[in-house]
Amino acid sequence: MAWRDWVRVVEVEPSLYAANFAELGEQIEALLNAGARVFHFDVGDGHFVEPITIGPIVLSSIAPFVHARGGVLDCHLMVENPERHIPQIAAAGGDSVTFHVEATPDPAAAIALARRHGLQVGVAFKPQTPVATAAAAVLEGADIALCMSIDPGYSGQEFMPDALERIGELRRLLPPHVFVQVDGGLHNENIRAAHEAGAAVFVAGSAIFVREDLPRAYRRLVHALS
């Protein structure tokens, strides 16, 4: 299975970073029942980004039931030396791995490594990184390009409006079969603009999990794209 099978024209991806970890299973289940299929799993190492977030141990706990329900886990590696972690992500049940172009000297090798481990693969870039640098790495053979609309690290930050321009530029530089994904600060009022700029995959943490009714919050985002 591949990104082209997972994305239903557009795809809203709940970011588990913002979940209540005491209720992680129930929250994932509620979102699966609401129609979510792709879950975003943020790995932060305390070096590439300030916080240590979640990693392969949590991933391996949730992967079996996410897969049993037809869901997939999209792992965003906000880490130095992503090559060191890619095999562990695959072993823990990740379906796709996205590494940062700023974190490796050899994106082509990281893409090849992910492929050897049977993973779909994405390339992410920070707001300060030239779009052309990111696009060149994506063109080494990635399936998806992740445009950060915040500085990576924390959930709950404000969307940077200039991300819209970067999304558009990225869309123009990449062939149509490569999806553009956007991550950070998305909510009901700006998700459509990100879509119009060229993104098809939308990561949402606080816009879903900092709500009382998760299924409703998820569906409202999907609806805002229709």
Question: Contacting ligand DX5 (CB under 6 A), which of 14, 36, 40, 59?
Answer: 40
| Residue 168 binds ligand DX5 (CB under 6 A) | no
42 near ligand DX5, rule: CB under 6 A:
yes
3-state per-residue secondary structure call for the chain: CCHHHHCECEEEEEEHHHCCHHHHHHHHHHHHHCCCCEEEEEEEECCCCCCECCCHHHHHHHHHHHHHCCCEEEEEEECCCHHHCHHHHHHCCCCEEEEEHHHCCCHHHHHHHHHHCCCEEEEEECCCCCHHHHHHHHCCCCCEEEEECCCCCCCCCCCCCCHHHHHHHHHHHCCCCCEEEEECCCCCCCHHHHHHHCCCEEEECHHHHCCCCHHHHHHHHHHHCC
Query: Using CA atoms in the order 56, 62, 68, 70, what is the torsion angle rounded to 10 degrees?
Result: -80
Q: Taking CB under 6 A as the rule, does residue 18 contact ligand DX5? A: yes
Q: Which residues contact 187 (CB under 8 A, 6 or more apart)?
A: 159, 204, 206, 207, 221
Asked whether 117 and 90 are in contact (CB, 8 A), the reply is yes
Instruction: Tell me which of 5, 74, 183, 213 is the catalytic residue.
Output: 183
Residue 167 near which of Zn ion, ligand DX5, none (CB within 5-8 Å, type-dependent) = none
Rule CB under 5 A: is residue 126 a binding residue for Zn ion?
A: no
Question: Whole-number minimum distance, CB 116 to ligand DX5, in Å?
Answer: 25
Number of residues that bind ligand DX5 (CB under 6 A): 22
Q: Which stretch binds ligand DX5 (CB under 6 A): 79-87, 95-103, 137-145, 204-212?
A: 204-212
42 binds Zn ion (CB under 5 A): yes
| Residue 183 sits in the site that holds Zn ion (CB under 5 A) | yes
For position 93 contacting ligand DX5 by CB under 6 A, the verdict is no
For residue 74, state whether it binds Zn ion (rule: CB under 5 A): no
Among 6-14, 100-108, 135-143, 182-190, the segment contacting Zn ion (CB under 5 A): 182-190
By CB under 6 A, residue 127 contacts ligand DX5: no
Among 3, 6, 17, 48, binds ligand DX5 (CB under 6 A): 17
Q: 93 or 205: whose CB is closer to ligand DX5?
A: 205
**183 part of the active site:** yes
For Zn ion, the closer CB: 104 or 155: 155
**Is 106 assigned a catalytic role?**
no
Active site (catalytic) residues: 42, 183
